[in-house]
Structure 1
Amino acid sequence: MTPVQPAVFIINSLEGGGAEGVMCKLLTIMESWFREQHREVYLLLLDEAEEAHTCPDYVNKETLFTDGSLMQGYSVLQQRLKKLQPEYCVSFLTRANMLNIALAKRLGYRSIISERVNTSSHFSGGVKDKISKMMVRASYPFADRVIAVSAGVKADLIRRFGVSARKIDTVYNPYDITTINKLADDIPDDLPSRPYIIGTGRLVPNKNFSLMIRAYAKAKIDEDLLILGQGAERDRLQALAGSLGIANRVHFAGFKANPYPYLKAARYFVSTSNAEGFPNAIVEAMCLGRPVVATNCESGPAEILTGDYPVAVTGFTAGQYGALCELNKVNGVADAMQYMSDDIHQEEYQYRSSSRARDFSNTIFKDKIISAIYPDTPPEGNAYVRAG
């Protein structure tokens, strides 16, 4: 019997972040499939960093200590992969992706890379970002397969980075609805007593919480605004709320390891980001039956809330699954808040959110990952075709 070649997964580290969390979810969800094949699975971490996510026990996890260096990463990763002789390597994040592609042809394995952010928005400016864009443009088209986290990310890779559409699979992030709802039942001591709407995320410019606060002040709705997250902009955002006369109604609760009870108790969820790859917080809110108001940024909100991409919005539109707002426009977000604060609209979108969340199940995710790994010979019983 011919030995089964190992499968290797590569990422910078497992420190806090959405991509790192999805990598561990992927390995957990795929465990039974790998065991059926009697396949060894390795997770190679390029850098040493404090780990915020847990890799499943069946995976052989190794740290390569490349210190963030692309050149050192190439040398160390090449040595390890020579010994492992994988059938394929799946990588997340730009540096890991470029190394994966560079080594694949040399070592004779298939490179499968995953882009977790809107690449153009992620590298927004500066000399370093321009160089990174050039390197992505020079390497990504040579990957064997590319997994895009949304149709918006796929479109960006085709339009601006020369990746062939035939190589790209769109695979949305997975969500365990049962687990999320179970975690939401753990009621914290500091849950607000007044009705509130909620926004979550790092307090950084790209999340544009200043737009959320300005729109909230303009909307003049009855609910308070609760913001979960920490970051460098906290003091500035608190000062903004004070200058708008709403400091007593905007509550900064900091980072919460379990945000789900706060989401579940909110009237609805608001996202005002300038850019996303695929906004996990939106789908997590929908898993809890929360209506959603979100800006039409690249990438993800339009697909999630309307089922379409691309979508043009002026002001705001009441989409199939949530309210989608014009990017960086106070009036549009304020109008959407007023719309969603109406009891009838809120009840209607609670049902729609719960229904939409089922489209992002672990089962669908697993089948699409298998189709991305083996695009020409999908396994028997795979009910989901690859996204076009």
Structure 2
Amino acid sequence: MRISLLVTELSMGGAARVVRDHAEAFAHFAEVREVVFNRADGVDYAGGQVTSLDVTGGGSPRRRVAGFFERATRYRAFKREWRCDISVSHLEGAQYVDLLSRGRAKRVAVVHGSILGNEDISGALGTIRRHLLLPLALRSADAVVAVSRDIARELRTMGVRHPRVINNFFDLERIRALAAEPLAEVEAGIFGSVPVIVTSGRMAEQKNQAPLLAILADLRQRQPCRLLILGDGPRRGAFLDQVAASGLSLSSPWTGLDPAADVHCLGFVENPFKLIAASDLFAFPSAWEGFPLALCEAMACGTAVVSSDCPTGPREILAPTNAEPTQPIRAAEWSDHGILMPIPAKDRQPTLDAWVDTLGQLLADAGRRETLAARGLQRVHDFSRDAIVPQWEELFRDLLRK
């Protein structure tokens, strides 16, 4: 069995990490190739056999359209020459290229994030993408995989028949081993004197880190605490400016390190797990998701989690048996595996107040944090590699039998 994993790029991002994990896992029962649009755009998660189509993006609308067709032509040639059996496309651009390339290989489209909740799909072009182009690409695939149950529900409303839910998986033993590594001296200085709330994720609009500053400022009026932010991205500069404007003290590699600072923004770190494990709480304020890696990894580190009830993923992970609300929640929803919160927004003070109250309660109650952390760790075993990878192998073998 020969499986091609097509993705726009293998640089920083959850989907790229998933492709890398899939390549490693699928190699136990198939030959696997990772294919990217243009290797020069970055391959941060390389490790397997990566093939580049060597077609750059950007430019005028006409140039971008021409680039899609050129990628499709080259990908069709790759599949034919490599005698690919199954082509798995990750992310919207890759799904258009896979649609245009056709060929004998069975086509599997993987949807990593909420489509209806994605605020980046907006305007006239967003309407065309959401209601015409994406449904066309997905309906033409031999199988569509949603990484969360609520994405599958969205897909059904778009006319995609029988999407299969296969959650992201995690190497729990590796995460626990990395979480147990000792802190460097500069890292250890962040912990011990006051409680630490940590968040992890790409610094982008979707991850919604900015409201955490207002939450921290209010929370610090009640009790000492600090915020640790792990991750980098296009919003880093704007976020650092917001910290400076907030009156909170800042420690970062770009502005200078200060272990006593209120906000520690460390950017990308090789091992975030030991920092998450050392923290008192993990806060996840995203505006929209798919099946969030960072949330499950925090649970695997043994840290209690508080997450926005955004579309999609956190509710399925933290409260799989809870009744689903018909409207966005306005207060904390305590579940067996973590706490769901309204999406925090600086212009909606009640959402910030709810976060302040809930984080304050947890910081003051070590026993409650320990209980949530233990239950979260138990829950994340449902998404282990051994639990999830066989679902992929079954899907592939079913497709090849048709």
Q: Do both proteins adopt the same fold according to a TM-score greater than 0.5, normalized to the shorter chain?
A: yes
Deviations 1:276-312 (A, max 9, x none): 1121111111001100001000111111111148733
Change (3 A) 1:131 1:346: same
Inter-partner Cα distance in structure 1 for 2:231 and 2:342: 24
Change (3 A) 1:251 1:130: same
Contact 2:295 2:305 in 1 (8 A): yes
Q: Which amino acid aligns with 2:284?
A: S
Change (3 A) 1:67 1:349: same
Inter-partner Cα distance in structure 2 for 1:309 and 1:318: 10
Where in structure 2 are the equivalents of 1:172-211 lying within 5 Å? Answer: 172-184=167-179, 185-191=181-187, 192-193=190-191, 194=193, 195-211=195-211
Instruction: Choose the corresponding residue for 2:37, options 46, 61, 65.
Output: 46
Partner of 2:348: none
State the Cα RMSD in Å.
Answer: 2.3
Contact 2:337 2:373 in 1 (8 A): no
Instruction: Choose the corresponding residue for 1:361, options 380, 384, 401.
Output: 384
Q: CA deviation at 1:14?
A: 1.6
Comparing 245-254 and 232-241, the one that deviates more: 232-241
SS at match of 2:186: coil
Q: CA deviation at 1:77?
A: 1.2
Partner of 1:37: none
Contact 1:263 1:290 in 2 (8 A): yes
Inter-partner Cα distance in structure 2 for 1:353 and 1:340: 15
Q: Percent identity?
A: 22
Q: CA deviation at 1:119?
A: 1.9
State the TM-score, normalizing by the size of structure 1. 0.86
Q: CA deviation at 1:244?
A: 5.0
State the TM-score, normalizing by the size of structure 2. 0.83
Change (3 A) 1:147 1:281: same
Q: CA deviation at 1:271?
A: 0.7
Inter-partner Cα distance in structure 2 for 1:242 and 1:62: 43
Instruction: Choose the corresponding residue for 2:51, options 54, 59, 62.
Output: 62
Deviations 1:61-97 (A, max 9, x none): 3211122321111111122222233222111111211
Contact 1:188 1:261 in 2 (8 A): no
Inter-partner Cα distance in structure 2 for 1:298 and 1:30: 28
SS at match of 2:224: coil
Change (3 A) 1:277 1:12: same
Partner of 1:27: 23
5+ residue gaps, structure 2: 58-66, 250-260, 345-350
Deviations 1:312-332 (A, max 9, x none): 333111111001001232122
Say yes or no: does 1:13 pair with 2:5: no
Inter-partner Cα distance in structure 2 for 1:163 and 1:169: 10
5+ residue gaps, structure 1: 35-39, 379-388
Inter-partner Cα distance in structure 2 for 1:238 and 1:13: 27
Inter-partner Cα distance in structure 2 for 1:361 and 1:350: 17
Aligned residues: 361
Inter-partner Cα distance in structure 2 for 1:244 and 1:51: 36
Instruction: Choose the corresponding residue for 2:270, options 240, 250, 257.
Output: 257
Q: Which amino acid aligns with 1:85?
A: R
Contact 1:303 1:309 in 2 (8 A): no
Say yes or no: does 1:330 pair with 2:325: no
Say yes or no: does 1:271 pair with 2:284: yes
Say yes or no: does 1:314 pair with 2:316: no
Change (3 A) 1:173 1:183: same
Runs of 4+ in 1 over 4 A off after TM superposition: 238-245, 375-378
SS at match of 1:331: helix
